[in-house]
Amino acid sequence: MYKGIYEYTNGFEDEEPNEIKTMDVDDHIYNNKRPIMPCKKDGAGDQHSVSCQWWKRYSGAAAGCLGLLCVLLLAGIIGLFLYQRNQLTCYNTPTKERDPVQTSGNNLTEDRDQLQTSYNTLTKERDQLQKEIERLKNPLVEPVCQRGWKKLGSSCYYVSTEKKSWEESRQDCRNRGAHLVVIKNQEQQTLVNWLCGVKNYVWIGLTDSVSEGTWKWVDDTPLTRNYWNSKEPNGGGAENCVYFYSWSADTGEWWDYYCYYKFRWICEK
């Protein structure tokens, strides 16, 4: 151990005042005896003692601050680690939670598209109905007929210049987007008589070829009013088609006849 030189200034037993002797510093501390700095006449010993005490307090405070900083730094590192871990967990785990949300969003998109399609369809139907209403309000607005057709009322009529069988005549009208003329009232009878011309024969769209004796128009409507000649129909199962014959400028009559025979015809659309 370090040996120091101390001066005893107060009275101790068996010790002479101002006697200088050596002693063990650690032994002296454990014996609760105040160490005496080396005695210097200029008082430097007292200043050195004060400096030592100040240094001990300063170094203790510094050590405490350093320890506190270490604790704070460790706490910050732990907090940062936990924050990053939490952020990573929040980023990765919502995938399953987002799936129902995404599915719901897709369903809403499909519903929106269906509603849009329905809206567009209803809009078209509304426009068509509006046009039909305007047409009914203004009966003078009539369709424009193609060249070679005659416009009468709300329909267009085509009178052939050649002759064909009833079936061939019917097919020709179909090819033109029309059908053999249908007569259901006196007005239409007079109209066809005018189109036919005096003393001419034309096929019309009436037949009983499907069921003998049951006369039907080509638009599948039954015969409700007729303009037969007084002796017609009389052909039985052999004469299943009907032609129109004009006697004068104001009337006309019907005859049943062989469907293969060739007459002119009238198409209507």
Report pLDDT digits (tens) over 93-108: 555 555 676 777 788 8
How far apart CA 141 and CA 214 sit, in angstroms, is: 37
Residue ranges, the chain, pLDDT below 50: 1-44
Q: What is the pLDDT of residue 20?
A: 45
Question: Three-state SS for 12?
Answer: coil
Residues 6+ apart with CB under 8 A from 258: 235, 238, 239, 241
Angle at 129 between CA 182 and CA 117, to 5 degrees: 120
Please report the sign of the dihedral spanned by the C-alpha atoms of residue 211, residue 215, residue 218, residue 219: negative
Closest CA to 165 of 95, 83, 260: 260
Q: Which residues pair with 216 in a beta bridge?
A: 207, 222
Residue 189 phi, psi dihedral angles, 5° rounding: -60, -45
Q: What is the CATH architecture of 150-268?
A: Roll (3.10)
Cα-to-chain-centroid distance, residue 77: 48
In the chain, domain spans: 150-268
Q: How many CB atoms lie within 10 A of CB 49?
A: 13
Please give the structure tokens belonging to residue 221.
Answer: 């409507």
At 37-96, the pLDDT tens digits run 444 444 445 555 555 565 666 677 777 788 888 888 888 888 887 877 776 665 555 555
Closest CA to 157 of 186, 191, 187: 191
